[in-house]
Amino acid sequence: MKPSGTSNKLKHLAVSTTQGLAGDLLRESQYVFLYRTKLPECAVSLTMPIRAQSYAGNVLPGVFRQNLPEGYLDLWIRHHFGKTMKMDDMAMLGITGASMIGRVTFSPPAIENHPVADGESLGEILAWKGTEDLFEYLSNKYAATSGVSGIQPKVLLRNKDADSDVVEKSTIKAKSVIVKSSGEDYPDLAENEFLCMSIAKKAGMEVPDFWLSENRRLFVVNRFDLRDGEFLGFEDMTALMNRGADEKYSSSYENVAKAVSLFSSPQFRNHSLRELFRSVVLSILVRNGDAHLKNFGMLYTHPGSNDCRLSPLYDVVNTTCYIPKDTLALKLNTTKAWPARNDLALFGAKHCLVDRPGHIIEEIAAAAMDFMPDDPSSRIWAAMRPVIAQSCFTLTGKGYVSGASLSEQSSASPPKVSG
């Protein structure tokens, strides 16, 4: 992929949606987006209705910047393309914009795109036993077409196993997956996320299908923004609240609940609020201190489809394994301290309109306490387990005794956690 012509600064992108062409994004003294359609279903965002007047600002509209690469992907792209083009946000959209989370895509008229890769076998990724670094290979092949945010190393790719028996067919809902690696700073992060998502699944929460590679180095998850071969609209809370990625920790779960209530279609509002509460409870129980604004989002067919609801759960990890004194990512009841049961229940009742918040807390804690991984001796589970047990005791008064069922643990003393 390289710029054509004499200028190495990208100033124009055509913007499309699943429903058709939307308009043009221009880089002038400001970013300017102008609709080229009158079809309401082609609107790019829940917050940007079609109008004759352009949208202009010093930063990209939220729905455009939410998928800008961060961390590993950002560095990889800048390293590989920085010599031939000016690497600003427009260039990032030009490089990754044809394959992004959600229904909005970008077409750079001044850039020649490489042919889209055929994809990889999910079964082979999960069973990889080679000596080469598999994620490095995947990065070299797919990083430039991975429009996904997040600090953790990850790439988007097509899974070719949908029509094979390598991976159980019933678990393949889409051909597109996200592959995540642990990275050097956070060892065992892939297995960490797999375990937390497994607890969520055990608790009956809505999660996409996911897998852990046999060598436990890669976490693979199905994209949930695909339905019947078409991309759904997805907007995270930074987009909906008009916050930058650097502001993703600057809000509260109460504000997230307000946004979920505001943007949910009426028939999905109560369910979405309930699922938001369940996700916050889970993050507190597994000590996920990274449940920030970008880790909550709304899913819909198009802005006028009346089916907008909270997206399935994603990006849940135990962070206190790496940062022992970590806190909540967002405020709850004006503080980022881990909440007591009463404060959490009040949030559920007052802001998420849940009738029995205490029952939900008990239910998810039970799933966390009863969960047992396939390898209980794994290094990361040994670090996570006592922390989860302590948080469950804090919120339910029930401790953990090895070998005892949850119902037998109510009288157990709280476990001691070092550090």
Return the active site residues: 290
Closest CA to 162 of 209, 204, 111, 96: 209
Is 286 within 8 Å of 385 (Cβ atoms)? no
Q: At what angle do helices 341-350 and 357-370 cross, to 10 degrees?
A: 120
Nearest 5°: phi and psi at 150? 115, 145
Count of positions (residues) in the chain: 419
End-to-end CA distance of the chain: 49
172: how many CB neighbours lie within 10 A of its CB?
Answer: 18
Residue 193 Cα distances to 156, 181, 220, 287, angstroms: 17, 10, 10, 12
319: DSSP letter:
-
As to burial, measured by CB atoms within 10 angstroms (0-12 exposed, 13-18 middle, 19+ buried), residue 402 is exposed
Amino acid at 259: A
Question: CA 124, CA 84: separation in Å to the nearest integer?
Answer: 35
Strand partners of residue 23 = 15, 35
Question: CA 298, CA 224: separation in Å to the nearest integer?
Answer: 11
Please report the sign of the dihedral spanned by the C-alpha atoms of residue 240, residue 244, residue 248, residue 254. negative
